[in-house]
A and B are shown apart, each in its own frame.
Chain A
Amino acid sequence: MDDLENLRKENERLQMMNENKSDLISISAHQIRTSLSAFKWTLRMFLNKELGDITDEQKNYLDKMMSNNEHVLALVNSLLSLNHSSDTSITFNFKKIDIVNMVEKVSSLFIAETKNKNINLLIEKPEEQIPELSGDEEMLIVVFQNLIENAVKYSDNDTDIKISLTYNKEDNSVLFSIKNKGIGINKEDEGNIFNKFFRAPNAIAKEHIGSGFGLFATKNIVERHCGKIWFENEQNQGTTFFVTLPIS
């Protein structure tokens, strides 16, 4: 009888903890949305030239900020969906996607960072055309954004980042890879790299800002597309991340 009562109390305690966690995420999401709304509206005022003329170069950067802001908003909305879904599933909206075009667009968001670090971001396009693949556009943007952002963040200055896209006819899939030269991943951290909120000590030392959520979310999204993600690593030399995604 005591065991049953203890179990009931423990269950109540866990339920309460879960509710508190959900409330915290809801409040945080509200606050983040409020800031992002302000960014969005202010950027729109600049782009509409309501605050005066802007140069083409300024417009180019403002467009990219706007686009980035929209992606973060989409991510916040998805995280909230993840939080409120008891089976931790997000409803994905699958449609046909030109993956080469998507990777090029996402890469262009990092022009300012690569310029600052004198990094060459090279995209090796496939020799033959990759068929449009079935995927959730916003979610796949998050995947490529996270992988490219990490590659840039943890690269040494004056190096190359190589992105490659190839079509595998045999299993009708696409292979994306991104190789950088930078801090790499320590042997003891390799098993934890896709864990939620994990950040490797050498990553924190290089770049203290980061949630540790990026690669966890990336893996989750890739697997929801029936794809795979893995990496090859040489400490202090750099890392290559690979993603395969089925076309349909």
Chain B
Amino acid sequence: MKKVLIIEDDSFLLDLEAAKIKKNNYDVLVAQTGEDGMKKIKEPDLGIILLDLLLPNYDGYEILKKVRADELTKKIPVVVFSNCAEQKDIDKAMELGANKFMVKSNFSLEELVEEIGKLIL
């Protein structure tokens, strides 16, 4: 089963996202802090990372930099899934190598799963 890593600090949103993604037959790993996210990006066989930006410890940008800098992880697709919706946030995430930027409140979970299906390795 393909693995999806969700890095999200809001417990309620994390539960909703994880439940929906599992229902669509993906294996789900979760991290609720930047620190935990930094560890979990090294898990074997990750197919995609769903990344929030505002996180405790390290923010999403730091994690994205780390993913793209490491030979082992640099090809993993990253969807930034955040409620930071300003153009400067989007530009920064895309410059750092995000594959897609989705503003949570503008998308349904069905649309999120569809995007994962398109991008997952």
Using CB atoms and an 8 Å cutoff, list the residues of chain A in contact with chain B.
26, 29-30, 33-34, 36-38, 40-42, 44-45, 73, 76-77, 80, 84
Task: State in angstroms the CA–CA spacing of A55 and B109 once bound together.
Answer: 23
Q: Does B57 contact A (CB under 8 A)?
A: no
Within 8 A of A (CB), among B80-113: 83-86, 103-106, 108-110
Contact residues in A for B1 (Cβ distance below 8 Å): none
Which one of B10-18, B31-39, B43-51, B65-73 contacts A? Answer: B10-18
With CB as the reference atom, state the residue of chain A lying closest to B53.
Answer: A30
CB contacts (< 8 Å) of A84 on chain B: these are 86
Taking a contact as CB atoms closer than 8 A, the residue among B12, B13, B105, B108 that contacts A73 in the complex is B105
- The SS class assigned to the A binding surface is helix
Closest 7 CB pairs of A and B: A33-B83, A33-B105, A37-B104, A37-B105, A41-B16, A30-B83, A34-B83
Binary contact track B17-34/A, C-beta < 8 Å → 1, others 0: 000100000000000000
* Interface contact A33-B16, CB-CB below 8 Å: no
Which residue numbers of B lie inside 8 Å of A, CB to CB?
10, 12-13, 16, 20, 54, 83-86, 103-106, 108-110
B20's nearest neighbour on chain A, judged by CB, is A41
A-B contact pairs, 23 of them (CB 8 A): A29-B85, A30-B83, A30-B84, A33-B104, A34-B104, A37-B13, A37-B83, A38-B12, A38-B16, A40-B105, A41-B13, A41-B108, A41-B109, A42-B16, A44-B109, A44-B110, A45-B16, A73-B105, A73-B106, A77-B85, A80-B85, A80-B86, A84-B86
Give the residues in chain B near A26, CB-CB below 8 Å.
Answer: 84, 86
Determine how close the nearest CB of chain B comes to the CB of A236; give it in whole angstroms: 41
Task: Tell me the minimal C-beta distance from B109 to chain A in angstroms.
Answer: 5
B85 touches A40 (CB 8 A): no
- Kindly list chain A residues whose C-beta atoms are within 8 Å of the C-beta of B10: 34, 38
